[in-house]
Amino acid sequence: MKILVCISHVPDTTAKIQFTADASALDANGVQFVINPYDEFGLTRALQLNEQLGGTVTAVTVGDASVEPTLRKALAIGAHDAVRVDAFALDPIQVARELSAVALAGAYDLIICGQESIDYNGGIVPAALAEILGWPVVSPCIGFDPAGGRAKATREIDGGKEILDLALPAVLGAKKGLVEESELRIPNMRGIMSARTKPMVVTAPQGANPGSAAVSFTKPAGKSAVQMIDAQDLDTLVQKLHEEAKVI
Amino acid sequence: MILVFAETWNGQFKKSTFEAVQYASACAKAQGTQALAVVIGPASAPVESLGAHGVHKVLHLHGPEQFETAQYAALLAGVAQELNSSLIVVSGTANGRALMGALSVRAEASAISNVTALPLSYSPLRVVRGAFSSKGIETCESRLPRSVIGLIPNAIGLKDSSDSDAAFEDRKASETARATVLEQQLASGSIALPEADRVVSAGRGMKAPENWGMIEELAKTLGAATACSKPVSDIGWRPHREHVGQTGIQVNPQLYIAIGISGAIQHLAGVSSSKTIVVINSDPEAPFFKAADYGIVGDAFDVVPRLTAAFQKYLN
């Protein structure tokens, strides 16, 4: 099975988010970047499928040279090769179009994205990419088992889940459940060494236009100071929730 | 004409659907145009109830009974193209979110999800959306003449419905599905987290999964959804669908009660847009207190049953 895993280069989940002085972009100073956590579930499932079924796992990202360490980490975890589309990722529609060109060039059986990236939280790319390719999409995907050119996939829905039957090729939007947290792989020394020599192809972008653009960013207003309430006086809490917060 | 996808759930409309319909109606009013609600599927859907939220017309497409991304996207894109709609509103539910990417490609539209308020402007379309898992607020501008907006559930207050003068149209419609739903498994009696008004959430401070009875009891008293922290879902004490936080579900209820959760930055990212946060923790230094409106230092096993009793007394 030939699998393409889409990787986003995002601030670490513990990062404090700050914006540039002109409020136009993320201030990347001092921010540690990682593989988008949802993409890690997808990468791990891809490697598991590769161990069962053979084939290749290719990691792809859309970004300038600064994202290469994140793509190298995907190689260190076990992807066989990597593709970087040399363009700033501006918008999910642009990214989906650039990824679709990579997908078509590689004749993949399966593309796995994260269900969303934890930076811009769009959640748009998996279904947009599938629609451009005319393939089925399962997002958020919390289970996937291929057999003979078809697959059974589990999709999370509000208040439960559903089991889908579909023909490959397909696009998945990965979420925890596709693999468990405990199955995630950490690069070992051998992986890190071999990642240095694995192929990373840099391709020129198609020049797809973004559908939207970020104008400015602000931080949410902070909470006012917490009111501490005596654990023996819970009626006061109930009263405050009713009269002050007006939520009950 | 502004379109709104009126999502059904088990043949009914959810609160999030009415919010999306109200949002689309407000957009239409601001632009001096009209809003059209599109219902796909179940014949039993109570379409009359949509008219009361300000739409000019309800179009009921009879065909597919179950949601499938490509099929629903094609049906909605067809209506958008027929009516030359500039704006399509969907609710940010699991299905709505899944739909947006496919719909935007099919309808040659931009896609802006996580929207929290009415547009700042319409030409160009500018909206405010949550980004960086609620650690940031982005103003986003569409660069295309047509846009798909995904509205976060619970972001706008639902107004009392008014009298309806909406028109209704039924039409048979079908498009090709690319996947078949074999079965659905719904957690019985639970309230879907993303649109819950009240959430009772607990963490490792509960010490063991068998101690969740008191959490469920408190949630039941308040009509709240139950949730949990990431570590609790990772060790399998609670199902993944209850995991609230940066890599789990994002919630924005009126009331979020956190019990035995320390308040890691990843957890706060998923809950910080809650209107009122109550934190109960035995550790007075727990970082969650800094993000709370009301705090109680105490042992969950002592406080929670008494809090449930206090709420019961009030609600009676």
- Whether residues A159 and B105 touch (CB distance < 8 A) is answered with no
Share of chain A above pLDDT 90, in %: 97
Provide ipTM, 2 decimals.
0.95
pLDDT: which is higher, A118 or B194 = A118
**Which residues have CB under 8 Å from B46's CB, separation 6+?**
B12, B13
Say whether both B247 and B291 belong to one domain.
yes
Average pLDDT, chain B: 94
Asked if the model's pLDDT at residue A203 lies above 70, the reply is: yes
From chain B residues 199-228, the ones with a CB under 8 A of any chain A CB are 222
pLDDT tens per residue across span A70-123: 999 999 999 999 999 999 999 999 999 999 999 999 999 999 999 999 999 999
B100 contact A CB<8A: yes
What helix, strand, coil percent values describe chain A, rounded to 5?
A: 30, 30, 40
From chain B residues 33-62, the ones with a CB under 8 A of any chain A CB are none
**Which residues have CB under 8 Å from B121's CB, separation 6+?**
none
Q: Report if residue B177 sits inside a domain.
A: no
Q: Report if residue B178 sits inside a domain.
A: no
Give the separation between CA A89 and CA A110, rounded to whole angstroms. 22
Share of chain B above pLDDT 90, in %: 82
Asked if the model's pLDDT at residue A11 lies above 70, the reply is: yes
pLDDT tens per residue across span B262-294: 999 999 999 998 999 999 999 999 999 999 999
State the pLDDT at residue B118.
98
Q: What confidence category does residue A170 fall into, taking pLDDT thresholds of 50, 70 and 90?
A: very high
Q: Report if residue B247 sits inside a domain.
A: yes
Q: Report if residue A183 sits inside a domain.
A: yes
Q: Report if residue A162 sits inside a domain.
A: yes
Say whether both B206 and B153 belong to one domain.
no
Q: Compare all CA atoms of chain B with the CA of A237 and give the residue at the minimum distance.
A: B294
Q: Report if residue A225 sits inside a domain.
A: no
Question: Which CATH number characterizes residue A11's domain?
Answer: 3.40.50.620
How many CB pairs (< 8 A) connect A and B? Answer: 291
What are the C-alpha distances in Å from A228 to residues B29, B90, B153, B200?
Answer: 44, 40, 30, 19
- Whether residues B240 and A177 touch (CB distance < 8 A) is answered with yes
Say whether both B58 and B146 belong to one domain.
yes
Pick left, alpha or beta for residue B86 (phi over 0 → left; psi -120 to 50 → alpha; otherwise beta): alpha
Say whether both B57 and B141 belong to one domain.
yes
Shortest distance between the Cα of B165 and any Cα of chain A, in A, equals 31
B263 contact A CB<8A: no
Q: Report if residue A163 sits inside a domain.
A: yes
pLDDT tens per residue across span B206-215: 999 999 999 9
Give the separation between CA A151 and CA A145, rounded to whole angstroms. 5
Q: Report if residue A175 sits inside a domain.
A: yes
Q: Residue type for A131, please? A: E
Asked if the model's pLDDT at residue B219 lies above 70, the reply is: yes
Say whether both B159 and B273 belong to one domain.
no
pLDDT tens per residue across span A21-60: 999 999 999 999 999 999 999 999 999 999 999 999 999 9
Give the separation between CA B113 and CA B127, rounded to whole angstroms. 10
Q: Which of B133, B130, B14, B129 is nearest to B67 (CA)?
A: B14
Q: Which 3 state secondary structure label does DSSP give A120?
A: coil
Contact yes or no for A166/A135 (Cβ under 8 A) = no
State the pLDDT at residue B189.
63
Say whether both B162 and B201 belong to one domain.
no
Q: Compare all CA atoms of chain A with the CA of B124 and give the residue at the minimum distance.
A: A212
Shortest distance between the Cα of B34 and any Cα of chain A, in A, equals 24
Say whether both B65 and B100 belong to one domain.
yes
Say whether both B92 and B221 belong to one domain.
no
Q: Residue type for A130, please? A: A
Asked if the model's pLDDT at residue B160 lies above 80, the reply is: no
Q: Report if residue A209 sits inside a domain.
A: yes
The secondary structure of A126-172 as a DSSP string is: HHHHHHHHT--EEEEEEEEEEETTEEEEEEEETTEEEEEEEESSEEE
Average pLDDT, chain A: 97
**DSSP conformation class of A210:** P
State the pLDDT at residue B29.
94
The mean pLDDT of B109-115, rounded to a whole number, is 98
Say whether both B148 and B222 belong to one domain.
no
Q: Report if residue B28 sits inside a domain.
A: yes
Q: Report if residue A22 sits inside a domain.
A: yes
Number of domain units in chain A: 1
Question: HEC profile for B210-245?
Answer: HHHHHHHHHHHHHCCEEEECHHHHHCCCCCHHHEEC
What are the C-alpha distances in Å from B172 to residues B9, B16, B230, B239?
Answer: 20, 25, 45, 39
Question: Which CATH number characterizes residue B12's domain?
Answer: 3.40.50.620
pLDDT tens per residue across span A206-216: 999 999 999 99
Contact yes or no for A163/A154 (Cβ under 8 A) = yes
Q: Compare all CA atoms of chain B with the CA of A37 and give the residue at the minimum distance.
A: B247
Angle at A123 between CA B22 and CA A86, to 5 degrees: 135
Last residue of a domain, one of B115, B141, B172: B172
Write out the residue range of the structural domain in which residue B128 sits.
2-172
Partners of A127 on chain B (C-beta within 8 Å) are 69, 73, 98-103, 105
Hunting for tokens 């201030």 — which residue is that?
A27
State the pLDDT at residue A159.
83
Return the structure tokens found at A247. 């939520």
Say whether both B17 and B111 belong to one domain.
yes
Asked if the model's pLDDT at residue A149 lies above 70, the reply is: yes
Q: Report if residue A238 sits inside a domain.
A: no
Asked if the model's pLDDT at residue B161 lies above 80, the reply is: no
Say whether both B89 and B208 belong to one domain.
no
- Phi, psi (degrees; rounded to nearest 5) at B315: -70, -25
Write out the residue range of the structural domain in which residue A202 sits.
2-217
Beta strands in chain B (DSSP E): 2-5, 8-9, 12-13, 35-40, 57-62, 87-91, 110-115, 121-122, 125-131, 136-142, 147-151, 167-172, 179-186, 198-202, 225-228, 255-259, 276-281, 294-297
Hunting for tokens 């049953």 — which residue is that?
B305
Q: What confidence category does residue B54 fall into, taking pLDDT thresholds of 50, 70 and 90?
A: confident
Give the separation between CA B205 and CA B79, rounded to whole angstroms. 51
Say whether both B302 and B248 belong to one domain.
yes
Give the separation between CA B42 and CA A90, rounded to whole angstroms. 38
Contact yes or no for A79/A45 (Cβ under 8 A) = no
State the pLDDT at residue A5.
98
- Whether residues A166 and B180 touch (CB distance < 8 A) is answered with yes
Question: Which CATH number characterizes residue B297's domain?
Answer: 3.40.50.1220
Number of domain units in chain B: 2
